[in-house]
Amino acid sequence: MTIKNPKVFISYSWEDEQHLNWVKSLADRLLANGVDASIDQYDLVLGDRLPQFMEQQITASDFVIIVCTKTYKEKANSRTSGVGYEGHIISDELLTGKNERKFIPVIKDGRVYEVLPTFLSGKLSIDLSNDEYFEKGFDNLLRTIFGVKKKPAVGEIPKKIKKVHYYLLVKMKVKI
């Protein structure tokens, strides 16, 4: 059995050099873990059309990781720059109900209410804002992308519970 490498697009705002490097590191880590991660820093060359790239990546990807910061929220909510353009495409997919789980908010810094744009309100996010949360959050992100369930199987009902349940049924004169 061959496992397919999931395709992921990373949506983020262009901020400072440190932020661009953080996003690139996230893409590198995903790539190293078998995820076909796309970002403009790797997948665009001079002369490419930005709107076409954004549309194709969002539409064709299995997941879209949205790196949420205060700047991202600002640009998304005001529909400015590339983030605003992507916001239109993401909102359309959310509105038409194509795949609600496709869009995964990642908290890079700040609190959820400070960094999540309106179109992501109420979505469960992953906190990668500091070293304390990063490893656990990244593992959770990989499990989500690969569709690996974390929930264990339901076990047997304990015998003592079965006995009490049986006793109650007999006491209430329920036919078994």
pLDDT, tens only, 54-98: 889 888 999 999 999 999 899 888 898 887 777 777 777 777 777
pTM confidence score: 0.82
Q: Which CATH code of 3.40.50.10140, 3.30.465.10, 2.60.40.10, 3.40.50.2300 fits the domain covering 7-171?
A: 3.40.50.10140
Residues 121/105, Cβ–Cβ less than 8 Å: no
pLDDT band at 25 (very low <50, low <70, confident <90, very high): very high
Higher per-residue pLDDT: 169 or 155: 155
Alpha carbon distance 167, 161 (integer Å): 10
What is the per-residue pLDDT for 162? 66
Residues 107/159, Cβ–Cβ less than 8 Å: no
- The string of pLDDT tens digits covering residues 3-14 is 789 999 999 999
Stretch (H or E) spanning 172: none
Q: Where are the domains of the chain?
A: 7-171
**Helix locations, the chain, DSSP H:** 17-32, 40-43, 50-60, 70-78, 81-95, 112-115, 131-146, 159-171
Helices 131-146 and 17-32: angle between axes, nearest 10 degrees: 50
